[in-house]
Structure 1
Amino acid sequence: MWMGAYPELPSYVLSTDEDLQIFLGKDPELPYLLKLLLISKALPLQLHPDKTLAAKLHNQHPSNFTNPNHKPKIVLALIDFEGVCDFKALADIDGLVQLPPLQPFMPTIKKPFFDGQTLKYVVKTMHQASEEANAKTNDTLMQLPKESFGKEIYILDMKQYGKCDNGTVVALVMMNSLQLKAGKGILIPADEIWAYLLGDIIGSVAWSNNALNTGFCPQADRDSVKLFCSSMTFTPHDAEETTLHSQSSGKSANGKT
């Protein structure tokens, strides 16, 4: 459920039946959507283009990219929430891709250290892998002892997403897992890869519906791997960098705001 003025599904002011876009047009400082998501199955693994790319895609494919805007968002967990967001630190990924099942995704000529270019190559190769290759990789990874992964990582529900889905390997190996308690929040900027997995959340989202899907969805619903990979920043961030910490408000009479 969303409440906002996006043309595909606008909201209306209850007292006047006025289109919310007209209402918000009187105050240009309010161009946001409020979204409520009750997640029992993962949303597609995706990113939202930044404003420059969104404008370009809107001009080229207006039926698929219906506006020229980006879509950063702030999300607040209403109950315990699980998701994946952004890439792990390069050193952590480097340790994981040394595992034998993941070696086929590495470049033939290896650099002396794992850098952003290598990260981009591995992510692109994972996205282009066949369903058979994904299934084999997932089966082999699940047979390894958990300590092989070094740090704790989120084990995705293979029954839900399917071990043939490209997103499963990408999320499992490359991305930060997020577990939020009720009341905790995160920031998801444009150009960052993410997926919500489980939980109830409320979010404030920039006025847009542009997205590039790459996993946790049927093959027919996925966007161009080349476009997807060229859109990404490929700049890893620690999960803590996306976390929003609560602050008390001077406008709250009882400390509940």
Structure 2
Amino acid sequence: MGTHPAAPSRVLSSGKLLSDHLAENPHLVGQQVIDRFGLQNGHLPFLFKVLSFDRALPVQIHPDKRLAERIHANEPERYVDPNHKPEMALALSQFHALCGILPAFQVTSYLSSVPEFSSVFPQGLKDRLAAAVKAQDVGGQKDAVKDLLSVLLKAGKAHVEQKVKALVDRYNRGQISHAEGKIKPLIMRLNEMYPGDSGVFCAFLLNHFDLKAGNAFSVAAGEPHAYISGDIIECMATSDNTITAAFSPEKEKDIENFLSGVLVHPTTGKTLIQPTMFTPGSTATSGTLLFNPPINELAVMQVIVAKSQTETHHALRGPSIAIVFEGKGTIVWADGSQRLNLTRGQVVFIGQGTTVKFSALEHPFHLYRAFVEFEVNTNHTTT
């Protein structure tokens, strides 16, 4: 849902590209948003998606702007735009993912307790990481973990397959150390999907998220991640650039650019987006939660309206797109110019400066609304 040329939205009544409609009616985006993000030809700064998967997506990063410009210039058919792609994921069901580098002390624990994983790396590198952890040398930890990633991703395919198989065989014999107890089911599951792949060992380097519906996290440009299974709302800066390193065919991998752009912070651990109550308007029933990631181009609201109730959203200082997740209801423009009946799966664009009222015909009337405003919102809440 958006204006990216890879899969552009169209206006249902006319069949016209949304980008063409917005180019003809720039007031719907707002000149301040256009100027702030350098938008052209009716494009929006965010891209809104619903994803559903039961097989792990590739271990990947999305480039920052500098890397995106370089790889787009070098390989425009592979990397189709010059924009960065920070994103957020909001779980609609149980959602499993790998995202971000594990704290370095946990990596050293796995290197000590998982011999099959440990044997991929030279002893000097493992010693260097252990020394950096002991000395609380953050820079040294960062460099060592990045070198671990490099060694793993560049290791011979047959060599890694042999080590992964040896680990899985040991688990099947019931030989599991205390440190491996929690991660063993994940290792087995990933290996069922991609037998012997280097991505299986990436689970010893990346945070594992096991989220319930309503939980959310953000993914910075350059942050390594792989979504494993579940259903999510995803919102990102408008880009289609993905640099893959594992869980993908060899011809699709780009290890050098992955390592060039990967963000390594082996001290932070997991970071979730904590929703806050949105203040939609004087007649609000407090049915709207705001998920505000540390990404300038986007934020997402979850709107749940009880039967026969109405939720009023004040005029936003930028454009938005809403999708009905569940139920039936209406959206009414406060000035009386438009009224739409909406049901599950339908999508509506709301121009900037527009106050709207959501009313439920069935309980619950459940929507997600992605938006951007021209002012930088620094009230990001994470934990």
**Would the TM-score normalized by the shorter structure come out above 0.5?**
yes
Distance of aligned partners of 1:245 and 1:101 in 2 relative to their CA distance in 1, 3 Å threshold:
same
Q: Is the counterpart of residue 85 in structure 1 residue 117 in structure 2? A: no
Distance of aligned partners of 1:237 and 1:20 in 2 relative to their CA distance in 1, 3 Å threshold:
farther
Question: How far apart, in 2, do the equivalents of 1:21 and 1:153 lie?
Answer: 47
Deviations 1:79-132 (A, max 9, x none): 111111011001110111123223333334332335222111111111122232
Q: Is the counterpart of residue 72 in structure 1 residue 105 in structure 2? A: no
Letter in 1 for 2:263: T
Query: CA RMSD for the aligned pairs?
Result: 2.0
- Paired residue for 1:33, among 25, 44, 47? 47
Structure with the higher strand share, 1 or 2: 2
1:34-113 to 2 correspondences below 5 Å: 34-98=48-112, 99-109=114-124, 110-111=127-128, 112-113=131-132
Deviations 1:154-189 (A, max 9, x none): 613112122x2111111x210100011111111111
Structure 1: which 5+ runs fail to align?
none
1:15-26 to 2 correspondences below 5 Å: 15-25=13-23, 26=26
Q: Is the 8 A contact 2:93 2:213 kept in 1?
A: yes
Q: Is the 8 A contact 1:153 1:177 kept in 2?
A: no
Distance of aligned partners of 1:175 and 1:154 in 2 relative to their CA distance in 1, 3 Å threshold:
farther
Distance of aligned partners of 1:34 and 1:190 in 2 relative to their CA distance in 1, 3 Å threshold:
same
The number of residues matched between the two structures is: 251
Structure with more relative contact order (C-alpha pairs < 8 Å, separation 6 or more): 1
1:228 matched to which residue of 2? Answer: 258
Greater gyration radius: 2
Q: Is the 8 A contact 1:40 1:199 kept in 2?
A: yes
- CA offset at residue 147 of structure 1? 1.1
Distance of aligned partners of 1:54 and 1:154 in 2 relative to their CA distance in 1, 3 Å threshold:
farther
Letter in 1 for 2:252: D
TM-score, with length taken from structure 1: 0.90
Deviations 1:125-163 (A, max 9, x none): 11122232222222333324141337657613112122x
Partner SS state of residue 173, structure 1: coil
Letter in 2 for 1:90: A
Q: Is the counterpart of residue 10 in structure 1 residue 8 in structure 2? A: yes
